[in-house]
Amino acid sequence: MHNNNYYQHNLPDVGDIETGRPNLGNMTSVAVYRLAQYAMRTVLINTLGRGEADKCFFNAGKLAGTEFCNKYLPLDADFNTFMQTLYDTLIELKAGVMRVEDIDFERLEVTLTISEDLDCSGLPVTNETVCTYDEGFLAGVLSAYLKKEFDVKEVDCWSTGERTCRFKIKPKPESYYEHNT
């Protein structure tokens, strides 16, 4: 039962939060989220090494992004409507402020920033990007919508000294090839 496919196809529902938390409600502290995220990250890096830990975080983010896209976003909408809904939903959930900086519709290449994000905004500068989960999340969202696999790389991050996270997104070469033939 406990193999990758089992988890991929059976991501647990987040539950009925309204019923489960009648007094505390749907919101929590960013510090609580970061404590969980960075505790898991530390244990994974110490157990598996940085490279494998990053893969785990990327894949977890991708799984979450796919689920998020299927649950919250208009899969049949045109690209502008889809991206506007993504922006609105991230604001509504207080997850971050997204801004598309550059887009090449033909190549499906996008540069976007997310400010005031959950993962890194306000962290000490360590000169390394840390939003690997978010890279995977964006890959999952776009893969679920466009039915292609995407590479997502964070090129700027609060922890590299920027005031926002900047992501370069492009289709994986094989799906780009399929798209153009």
- Which residues in this chain contact Zn ion in the complex, by CB under 5 A? 120, 131, 157, 165
Q: What distance in Å separates the CA atoms of residue 152 and residue 141, rounded to the nearest whole number?
A: 11
* Minimum distance, C-beta of residue 112 to Zn ion, in the bound complex (Å): 12
Residue closer to Zn ion, measured from CB, 131 or 152? 131
| CB contact at 8 A, 73 and 145 | yes
Alpha-carbon separation of residue 123 from 110, 131, 164 (angstroms): 26, 11, 11
Number of neighbours of residue 175 by Cβ within 10 angstroms: 18
Residue closer to Zn ion, measured from CB, 17 or 155? 155
Residue closer to Zn ion, measured from CB, 85 or 160? 160
Residue closer to Zn ion, measured from CB, 158 or 176? 158
- In this structure, the strands spanning 165-171 and 150-156 are antiparallel
| 110: enclosing H helix or E strand | strand 109-115
* Minimum distance, C-beta of residue 156 to Zn ion, in the bound complex (Å): 8
Residue of this chain nearest to Zn ion (CB atom): 157
User: In this structure, what DSSP letter does residue 3 have?
Assistant: S
* Minimum distance, C-beta of residue 136 to Zn ion, in the bound complex (Å): 13
* Minimum distance, C-beta of residue 181 to Zn ion, in the bound complex (Å): 35
